[in-house]
């Protein structure tokens, strides 16, 4: 029974993990796998249905092969999802640790500044930031990095505050460890797994946000292939050729489900492992003298 439960847990982590790696590999191998130039098309072949000869997924309104464009679009879309999450993970972790280990003034100043950003709905904040920049992948990365950082910082701060009175941290301070050594050797190894698990669940959300910005004309602009931009280009054909028009939306949905499932599986695995570890001992309790029975 235990072996069956363990196999089921491993399957729940391995399957979405393998699918996520496969998506990244498909995007990287787009120049090798795409049968056509994603920017080249023939008006005579416009809006072919899926299954057409030479075009297994059909063509768009300009006669461009949709399979080629979907493969190439994975590069821009996954970049718009993975890079902001990476930037937000690094920046948010540093801010959260600084707030957790700093004094009361540092903690309140950082938390209140993050709360200002966190108070805005993520979609509206991303649109507001992207609208101030030149449309492109850089604008998408910057806007989503700003949107995601406060949430990651909150997670890092909560975990840092949980362990900041631990006995081993107090021992490191007494031994003369500097702030950098304290963070790198004592705090980061404890905070990083929790932050990384949370960040993995943000990739799917970031992909959806990036596609939304491109759909609104604030992200990657045509003729560059990107799933959100493709969805906007195919929108006029939604009533006449629905199967062609919804393909980018189905890809966005599939990618979001894969990364969300992976994040949930990692969260469950880390939660089970953390439940078996002893809790940090507060420094005050560790220094308290034991009562001697008489």
DSSP 207-249: HHHHHHHHHTTSSSPTTS--HHHHHHHHGGGTTT-HHHHTHHH
What's the confidence (pLDDT) of residue 117? 86
pLDDT value at 22 more than 80: yes
Name the DSSP letter for residue 36: S
Q: Please give the pLDDT value at position 285.
A: 42
Q: What is the rounded CA–CA span in Å between residue 227 and residue 250?
A: 10
Q: When comparing pLDDT for 195 and 11, which is higher?
A: 195
Question: Which structural domains are found in the chain, ordered by start?
Answer: 31-279 (1.10.3720.10)
The upper half-sphere exposure of residue 280, i.e. CA atoms within 13 Å in the direction of its Cβ, equals 20
> How far is the C-alpha of 154 from the C-alpha of 99, rounded, in Å?
9
Query: What is the per-residue pLDDT for 86?
Result: 95
d(CA 52, CA 35): 14
- CA dist., res. 123 & res. 286, Å (int): 46
Q: Do residues 172 and 186 lie in contact, with contact meaning Cβ atoms separated by under 8 Å?
A: yes
pLDDT in the model for residue 271 = 60
CA distance 137 to 141: 6
Report the pLDDT value the prediction gives residue 54, as an integer from 0 to 100: 87
Whether residue 183 is predicted with pLDDT greater than 90 in this model: the reply is no
Measured CA to CA in angstroms, residue 55 lies from 12, 43, 58, 64 at distances of 34, 14, 5, 9
Q: Cβ distance 234 to 250 under 8 Å? A: no
pTM of the model: 0.84
Taking the C-alpha atoms of residue 154 and residue 132, their distance in angstroms, rounded to an integer, is 26
- Check pLDDT > 50 for residue 104: yes
Residue 85: its pLDDT value, please?
Answer: 95
Could you tell me what percent of the chain has a pLDDT over 70?
Answer: 81
More confident residue, 143 or 5: 143
What's the chain's average pLDDT? 83
- What are the percentages of helix, strand and coil residues in the chain, rounded to 5? 75, 5, 25
Report the pLDDT value the prediction gives residue 287, as an integer from 0 to 100. 46
Task: Give per-residue burial for 264-288: e unless 16+ CB within 10 Å, then b.
Answer: bbbeebeeeeeeeeeebeebeeeee
Give first-to-last CA distance, the chain, whole Å. 50
In angstroms, the CA 15 to CA 9 distance is 10
Express each pLDDT in 132-179 by its tens digit.
Answer: 988 889 999 999 999 999 999 999 998 888 877 676 666 766 666 666
Burial of 103 (0-12, 13-18, 19+ CB in 10 A): exposed
The pLDDT of residue 126: 93
Report the pLDDT value the prediction gives residue 279, as an integer from 0 to 100.
47
**Range with lowest mean pLDDT among 3-7, 11-15, 33-37, 244-248:** 3-7
Per-residue confidence (pLDDT) for residue 209, from 0 to 100 = 94
Answer whether residue 232 shows pLDDT above 70.
yes
């Amino acid at each position: 029974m235990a072996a069956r439960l363990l196999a089921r847990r491993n399957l729940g982590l391995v399957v979405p993990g393998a699918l996520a790696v496969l998506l990244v590999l498909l995007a990287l191998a787009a120049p090798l796998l795409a049968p056509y130039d994603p920017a080249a098309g023939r008006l005579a072949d416009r809006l072919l249905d899926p299954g057409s000869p030479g075009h297994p997924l059909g063509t768009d309104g300009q006669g461009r092969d949709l399979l080629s464009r979907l493969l190439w679009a994975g590069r821009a879309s996954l970049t718009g999802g993975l890079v902001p999450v990476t930037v937000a993970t690094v920046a948010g972790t540093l801010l959260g640790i600084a707030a957790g280990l700093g004094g009361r003034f540092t903690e309140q100043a950082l938390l209140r500044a993050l709360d200002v950003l966190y108070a805005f709905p993520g979609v509206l904040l991303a649109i507001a930031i992207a609208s101030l920049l030149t449309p492109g992948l850089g604008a998408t990365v910057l806007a989503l990095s700003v949107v995601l950082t406060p949430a990651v910082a909150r997670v890092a701060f909560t975990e840092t505050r949980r362990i900041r009175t631990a006995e081993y941290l107090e021992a490191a301070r007494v031994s003369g460890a500097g702030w950098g050594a304290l963070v790198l050797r004592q705090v980061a190894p404890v905070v990083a797994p929790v932050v990384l698990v949370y960040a993995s669940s943000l990739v799917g959300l970031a992909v959806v946000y990036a596609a939304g910005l491109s759909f609104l004309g604030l992200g990657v602009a045509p003729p560059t292939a990107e799933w959100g931009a493709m969805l906007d280009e195919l929108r006029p054909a939604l009533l006449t050729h629905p199967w062609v028009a919804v393909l980018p939306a189905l890809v966005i949905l599939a990618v979001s489900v894969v990364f969300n499932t992976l994040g949930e599986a990692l969260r469950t695995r880390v939660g089970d492992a953390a439940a078996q570890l002893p809790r940090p001992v507060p420094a005050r309790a560790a220094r308290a003298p034991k009562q001697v029975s008489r």
